[in-house]
């Protein structure tokens, strides 16, 4: 739920920012109206979608860890809270490092996927 709105807002922005000239060019090249979405809208809005995915991923990590700290008995957040109550600083720091590393690796995975799919884009390629 924490990731939904950043992804949605950036996807809407990406779709709305498709230049009208692209539709005209595709129509002149013989693209049928039913094929406009997969051939024009989706590729042109992918940079905005990937920006939303990266933002949503960051929010998702925050929500997951906070949820684990407050609502469940297992997970990294619960482990950190238990270690904090027992004054086990080394476990707290290790849990924070693991969360940071997992967040970094998941962001890198989305970034690499975006670079692969957006090789044509000057900002992402």
Q: Stretch 34-60: mean pLDDT, rounded?
A: 91
Q: Stretch 52-66: mean pLDDT, rounded?
A: 90
Q: How confident is the model at residue 21, as a pLDDT?
A: 93
Nearest-angstrom CA–CA distance, 125 and 116? 8
Q: How confident is the model at residue 125, as a pLDDT?
A: 56
Q: How confident is the model at residue 107, as a pLDDT?
A: 93
Report the mean per-residue pLDDT for the chain. Answer: 89
Instruction: Encode pLDDT of 9-22 as tens digits.
Output: 999 999 999 999 99
Q: How confident is the model at residue 5, as a pLDDT?
A: 92
Both tokens assigned to 74 = 């297992």
User: What is the value of pTM for the model shown?
Assistant: 0.78
Return all residues near 108 (Cβ < 8 A) that are at least 6 apart. none
Q: Stretch 38-61: mean pLDDT, rounded?
A: 91
């Amino acid at each position: 739920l924490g990731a939904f709105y950043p992804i949605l807002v950036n996807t809407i922005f990406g779709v709305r920012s498709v230049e009208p000239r692209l539709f005209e060019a595709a129509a002149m090249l013989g693209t049928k109206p039913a094929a406009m979405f997969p051939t024009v809208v989706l590729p042109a809005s992918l940079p905005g979608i990937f920006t939303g995915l990266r933002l949503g991923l960051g929010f998702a990590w925050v929500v997951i860890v906070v949820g684990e700290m407050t609502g469940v008995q297992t997970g990294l957040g619960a482990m950190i809270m238990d270690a904090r109550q027992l004054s086990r600083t080394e476990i707290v720091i290790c849990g924070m490092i693991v969360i940071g590393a997992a967040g970094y690796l998941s962001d890198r995975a989305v970034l690499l996927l975006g670079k692969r799919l957006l090789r044509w884009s000057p900002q992402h390629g």
